[in-house]
Amino acid sequence: MELIDFFKRYRHVAIAFSGGVDSTYLLYAAVNYAEKVHAYYAKSVFQPQFELEDAKRIAKQFCVDMTVIEADVLLYPQIVANTAERCYFCKKLIFSKILEQAARDGYGTLLDGTNASDDPGDRPGMRALKELSVLSPLRECGLTKEEIRRRSKEAGLFTWDKPAYACLSTRIQTGEPITKEKLEYTEHAENFLFSLGFSDFRVRMSGTAAKLQVPASQIEKVFENRKAIVRELKRYYSAVTLDLEARNE
C-alpha cells in the first residue's frame, strides 16, 4: 500500500508531530493527500526547546494548524522511576492526552511516525500505541528510515538529514530516577556541543559524570575542543569522559 492509498481511507487525520524526520514526512504526505490535517506537539521536559522550534517552523511552512499540548511527565511515578518500561508509560500518557484533544477538535484518527525500520522488541512505547489504536502509516506502507530520508530529500524537506534525537530521558541510566535537574543538565550540555558544531551525539549521565558519545569522525574534534568542553560540562557534572566506542554514522 502507498501513502496516497492510506489517505484515501483516512481523510481527516490528527498527527502526533515531533518535528523529526519521520513525523515531518508523514505530515507532508498528509497535507498532500488528506482532506483535513491537524498536528499535535506534546511538550514536556523530555524534549529540548529546539525540537519545538523545528516543529513550529515546519507547521508554518506546511500551513498546518499545530496544537502544543503540555505534559507534566514528572508527576507520574511510573515514568520518574525510569524502569525498562518508562517509554511505555510515557507514550501512554502523551498519546492519551493527544487523543483527548484531537477528539475535542473533531478528529477520530490519530497517526504517528513509526516507520518500518523500528523494532517493536526494542520500543516498549509501540505497545502503548497499539493499545490506544494509534495508526502508523509509514510502517503500514513499508517505508524504512532510509526510504523516508530519500523521499524527504526529494521533497525538499530540511529534515531529510536531521539526526535522530531520542528524548532527554534516554541519557539517564535505566533505574536511575529522572529529575528535572538531570534533564536540564543534559540539555545545557548538548546545546553547548551543538554550538561547537557537533552532531548526532549524546551526553549521557554515568553516575554524576558526563559520558560523551560521538561519531568516529568527530572524536578528534572532541580533543580539539577538550578544554572548553571540560570547562563547560564541569558546571553540571563531576567529571567528563569520552566513550571510545563511537556512535554509528
Per-residue pLDDT of the chain (249 residues; tens, 9 = 90+): 899 999 999 999 999 999 999 999 999 999 999 999 999 999 999 999 999 999 999 999 999 999 999 999 999 999 999 999 999 999 999 999 999 999 999 999 999 999 998 877 667 888 999 999 999 999 999 999 999 999 999 999 999 999 888 899 999 999 999 999 999 999 999 999 999 999 999 999 999 999 999 999 999 999 999 999 999 999 999 999 999 987 764
Is the pTM of the predicted complex or chain greater than 0.85?
Answer: yes
Q: Does one domain contain both 139 and 32?
A: yes
DSSP 51-71: HHHHHHHHHHHHT--EEEEE-
Give the residue ranges of DSSP H helices in the chain: 3-9, 21-33, 49-62, 77-80, 86-104, 125-131, 137-140, 145-154, 180-195, 219-224, 226-233
Which pLDDT belongs to residue 122?
Answer: 65
- Full residue range of the structural domain in which residue 76 is found: 3-161
Which pLDDT belongs to residue 248?
Answer: 66
> CATH number of the domain that 187 lies in?
3.30.70
Q: How many domains does the chain have?
A: 2
Report residue 139 as a C-alpha cell.
510502517
Q: Does one domain contain both 145 and 76?
A: yes
Q: Using alpha carbons, list the distances in angstroms from residue 5 to 33, 138, 191.
A: 9, 12, 41
What is the C-alpha to C-alpha distance for residues 37 and 7, in angstroms, rounded to an integer?
Answer: 11
Q: Does one domain contain both 147 and 188?
A: no
Provide the sign of the torsion angle of the four alpha carbons 13, 19, 22, 25, taken in this order: positive
